[in-house]
Amino acid sequence: MNVRTPAVRLGLLPAGIALALAPAFASAQEASAPTTLDRLEVTGSRIRSVDVETSQPVLTVSHEDIQRSGLVSVGDLLQNLSVAGTQTYSKAAVLASNPEQGGQYVSLYNLGEQRTLVLVNGKRWSTSLAGFTDMSTIPTSLIERVEVLKDGASAIYGSDAIAGVVNIILRKNFDGAEASAYYGQNSRGDGSKTQYSLTLGATGERSSIVFGANYIKEDPVWAKDRGLTQYTYGQGSPTAGLSPAGPWGRFTDPRAAGTPGAGSYNEDGDWEANTWVINHTGSWNTPVGVGQPSNNLNNYHTIGLDDYYNASQQMMLNQGAESKTMFTSATYDINDNLRLKSTAMYSERDSKRQIAGYPLTGTSQPTYPIVISKDSVYNPLGNWANPGAGVDITSWGRRIFELPRVTQNNVKSLHFDAALEGNFDFNNRPFDWDVGINYNQYDVTQTSTGNINLLALKNALGPSFINGSGVAQCGTAANPIDLGVGPGRCTPFDLLGGATGATPNALQYINTLLNSTGQSKSKQYFANITGSLFDMPGNAGEFAFAAGYEHREVSGYNHPDALSSAGYTTELAANPTDGKYKTNEFYLELMVPLLRDLPGAKELSLDVASRYSDYDKFGNTINSKFSVTWKPIDDLLVRATYGEGFRAPTLDDTFGGGSQTFDDFTDPCDAVFGQRSNGAVAARCAAEGLAPGFRQTDAAGRPVSARDTQGNAPFQSGVGNDSLQPETSKTRTAGLVWSPSFVSGLNVSLDWYKITVDNVITAVSANYVLNQCYQNASAQFCGQYGRDPVTGQVNSLSRGNANLGSMETEGYNFGVRYRLPEYSFGTLSFNLDTNYLSSFRQQATKGAAWDDYAGYWNFPRVRGTLASTWTKGDLSATWTMRYYGGFRDYCTEDECNEPGYLTENGGWSGGEGANKKGAIVYHDISATWQAPWNGSVTVGARNVFGKTPPITQAVTNGSAVQLDPMLDYDRFLFVQYNQRF
């Protein structure tokens, strides 16, 4: 069933979908002539009605549309909507370590995945502790249709429906069998996708059952295999983003100031110790070479560029995943007015990501510092090299490139719902009701290797000696420790010797297997009733209503690896999370038709909805929505909505235990990138004993070369706040659709939207903490960071969540669709749809200045699609052009085409200037043949011309995250075969 809504805004959909969505873009003059008398419930309203035209934009994608698209996941499908933003945890976000990593999510209007409510068959789907709904658990082969409400709906559905609602309707009333196979691959021979599915169903006089099974496998893509991503800052700047944490061990000379050869005095009279690296062959851009013996200081040199490392060589660009799903749905009509319905689904996803080996330092865990013992045989300043005069090396580093960090997420999703539905007539009017239960469970097991066991490392870098066999052994000759990797054993680690100093046993000894588990569970009990009460005067229509009650219980936990929680590994130490809450909710919706078939008012109706929610943790709230539909003439429909919304804090927001993180930040006291020009900032920097020329340093102890550089010490982030209150929102929309009767097949639509979110639950950033202290002298935030007493570097900082500031987005959707009459050569149709982003503003705190991101990276002002489709008999073909507008980026030394563009122009620009990147247009094609034996074949290609997207300097966390995940970076070819039996 396709739900017809006159002013639907067609999304940016791939080849085949844009035209297939045409029924959802129905003409206004058809509004008063429904094609069926079945009473239907449309997403965005609880009222069942024979008139499916509503005052809210609902986009519908059918099962056939999805099959023609060549996309195998709901996440990929919805990512092409013109109002969809970049995913927080996309397949390209391999540096993220959250449990959500590896899933697929949708963020309508770029307002965040937590603010888009996902339903399945009209019921809430499972979410993570952070409120993310993983849609990779729902394979496309099991979907009958997808309805996307691009409007807030908290008054109808409760929490989270701020940006909109995605309602996935699963297949039912299916007779026979259907099997499908799909294969696609990038033109470079990687990133292949495979899908197999089987659907079985039977429908009897009073019962029906559907069973489905699905398998999907997606192979990874590596950053080193693309010119755009083989270096941190792109192909044109191979050395700019090299990591100072290289595969060759380095250390800062620990000998006393003034010791000959240990360092030198700078022009300010301060002692600067040398940073030493073992002599070796090879460089940053060649395979790792051979190093000299590490226990002789004469074999070292001061650190240089060839000692750095290109971490992209070990990074995935897109991770791989494998998922398996089983689904069943059954309906039994007890009698003509009573039926039992139930749905069950089990899905399991395994995803695997890899990032570069750990950049290990002596203070990877500040609470458990590790030194290279003066009694280690591998210490060039130790007692073995300088008998009786050895010193510990306290400041050292080395990337353990031999052990790339590999994380595997196993996600099990279980869903079950059951409901008793009925209908009856009262006073000659129909009523529908249902009562039931909805259960979701989401279990995550995360395992990883490549992090370092610091307890073992301390032993491996501790005292050692050369035994009688000429082999290095832990301990001393008087108290040796058995060689090996098991309990009570130890293998010395020649850390400073780099690539040629590490033995397989030493690497195995310090490596660690980490394991963490988490669960999110929800139980929902509900009861609903809908019907019409009376006829409005003047034949305006039926006064209808819907009312209901819901009780929801949400609970969950996250139990991180015990050794890591104790701070004994290089994994980010996290504390456990445990929490739960309950809510009781009541809602009422009224549909009030006011006028019909009058001059200037072919139709005028009002929809009013209100919902009361009572949370045991957050108190209560009432949210209402008002919608109006007006047809002044048959060819024109005008509509508008105003709605209040809210989002309750998630379990993570409220009960999160917090974890370590290596934040990107800019020290306000940095002489180059800081804020020393601000008098208040300069005064506090001086009060902390920092010299005017103070510089923030990188992992190698060198001054940073860019803003927002990753810190050298882990900060504490994500600590739950039990004082958080729900976010609130206001949604305003107005739109029209014109379907001129004198031009058959032409539809033109224009929609305006504005969504404001207040009391935003924000993960406070390190920059925010520092700026609040240095700029505003906030005692609260000045107590949340600390500096190293010797170097002055920020070495500790604690940040959590708070209700801060606001965000607001505003824009327009414009669409034109024209279907030509059928000719001898077939049928042609054209779809043009665009989204113009007027503004996307954020306010850090109430009263602070607004930052407008519209026109910057991830926020193009214009996104659009033009699709042309030809159909004749059993053949069809589609050509689609997808347009992504240009954006402003940071200026760099190599690229700065708007050097005079000041930040006062709005938003961030990375300093005084900006670098404008051009727009990009992708071309997609597909063709389908309907075979006479109930089979069909679809072949196609996305990004036919193999265009590469622009990179950005706005994100500096490695090459894998510098491409907008919404954009294709390669040509993708696919073929799909479906067979009905």
Other CB atoms within 10 A of residue 619 CB? 10
Task: Read off the pLDDT band of 962 (50, 70, 90).
Answer: low
- Per residue in 78-101, pLDDT tens? 877 888 887 777 666 666 667 777
Cα–Cα distance between 472 and 467 in angstroms, integer? 6
- Per residue in 691-728, pLDDT tens? 999 999 987 678 998 888 888 888 878 778 888 899 99
Task: Read off the pLDDT band of 850 (50, 70, 90).
Answer: confident
* H or E, element range at 64: helix 63-69
Q: Which of 98-102, 151-155, 748-752 has the lowest mean pLDDT?
A: 98-102
Query: In this structure, what DSSP letter does residue 822 have?
Result: P
Distances (CA, A) of 951 to 171, 911, 970: 40, 18, 14
Angle, alpha carbons 50-632-531 (nearest 5°): 25
Residue 731, Cα to own-chain centre: how many angstroms? 23
pLDDT of residue 22: 33
Residue 558, pLDDT > 60, answer yes
| Between residues 492 and 228, the one the model is more confident about | 492
Beta-strand pair 715-719/221-222: unpaired
For 765, phi and psi rounded to 5 degrees? -90, 165
Q: Which of 255-259, 397-401, 900-904 has the lowest mean pLDDT?
A: 900-904
Mean pLDDT of the chain: 86
Task: Summarize the confidence of residues 429-449 as an average pLDDT.
Answer: 95
pLDDT of residue 714: 82
Token digits for 10?
């067609």
| Between residues 614 and 139, the one the model is more confident about | 614
- Per residue in 856-867, pLDDT tens? 888 899 998 898
- Per residue in 473-497, pLDDT tens? 999 999 999 998 888 899 999 999 9
Residue 124, pLDDT > 80, answer yes
Contact 168, 146 (CB under 8 A): yes
Residue 910, pLDDT > 50, answer no
Render 440-486 in DSSP notation, one character per residue: EEEEEEEEEEEEEBHHHHHHHTS-EEE-TTS-EEEB-SSSB-EESSS
- Per residue in 770-785, pLDDT tens? 988 998 888 878 988 9
User: pTM of this prediction?
Assistant: 0.84
Contact 572, 97 (CB under 8 A): yes
pLDDT of residue 230: 82
Residue 518, pLDDT > 90, answer yes
pLDDT of residue 546: 94
Render 428-445 in DSSP notation, one character per residue: TEEEEEEEEEEEEEEEEE
pLDDT of residue 149: 86
- Per residue in 3-47, pLDDT tens? 323 232 223 333 333 333 333 333 333 333 333 334 556 677 777
Q: 931-935 long-range CB contacts below 8 Å, 24 or more apart? A: 931/874, 932/874, 933/979, 934/979, 934/980, 934/981, 935/977, 935/978, 935/979, 935/980
pLDDT of residue 953: 65
3-state helix, strand, coil in the chain (%, to 5): 10, 45, 40
Half-sphere exposure (CA, 13 Å, Cβ side) for 117?
A: 28
Residue 273, pLDDT > 90, answer yes
pLDDT of residue 52: 41
Token digits for 829?
């149709």
Task: Read off the pLDDT band of 808 (50, 70, 90).
Answer: very high
Other CB atoms within 10 A of residue 304 CB? 11
pLDDT of residue 29: 33
pLDDT of residue 35: 33
* H or E, element range at 79: helix 74-79
Token digits for 295?
């226990």
pLDDT of residue 649: 92
Query: In this structure, what DSSP letter does residue 898 have?
Result: B
* H or E, element range at 157: helix 154-157
Token digits for 821?
């009459």
Cα–Cα distance between 394 and 373 in angstroms, integer? 9
pLDDT of residue 708: 86
pLDDT of residue 659: 81
Residue 111, pLDDT > 80, answer yes
pLDDT of residue 15: 33
pLDDT of residue 523: 96
Contact 92, 100 (CB under 8 A): no
Task: Summarize the confidence of residues 516-541 as an average pLDDT.
Answer: 93
Other CB atoms within 10 A of residue 428 CB? 5
CA dihedral 230, 231, 233, 238 (to 10 degrees): -130
Reduced to 3 states (helix: H, G, I; strand: E, B; else coil), residue 516 is strand
Contact 331, 339 (CB under 8 A): yes
Q: In angstroms, what is the C-alpha Rg of the chain?
A: 31
Q: Which amino acid is at 203?
A: T
Cα–Cα distance between 883 and 968 in angstroms, integer? 12
Beta bridge partners of 213: 198, 326
Cα–Cα distance between 20 and 23 in angstroms, integer? 7
pLDDT of residue 104: 82
Reduced to 3 states (helix: H, G, I; strand: E, B; else coil), residue 683 is helix
Distances (CA, A) of 550 to 523, 553, 582: 10, 10, 11
**Helix runs in 657-812, H state only:** 679-687, 766-776, 779-782
- Per residue in 873-900, pLDDT tens? 999 998 989 999 998 877 766 677 877 7
Token digits for 291?
């190093």
- Per residue in 383-423, pLDDT tens? 998 898 899 999 999 999 999 999 999 999 999 999 999 99
Cα–Cα distance between 208 and 172 in angstroms, integer? 8
Task: Summarize the confidence of residues 321-342 as an average pLDDT.
Answer: 93
The tokens 């129905």 sit on which residue? 26
pLDDT of residue 729: 95
Render 526-549 in DSSP notation, one character per residue: EEEEEEEEEEEGGGTEEEEEEEEE
Residues in the chain: 981
Reduced to 3 states (helix: H, G, I; strand: E, B; else coil), residue 634 is coil
Task: Summarize the confidence of residues 97-124 as an average pLDDT.
Answer: 86
Beta bridge partners of 862: 836
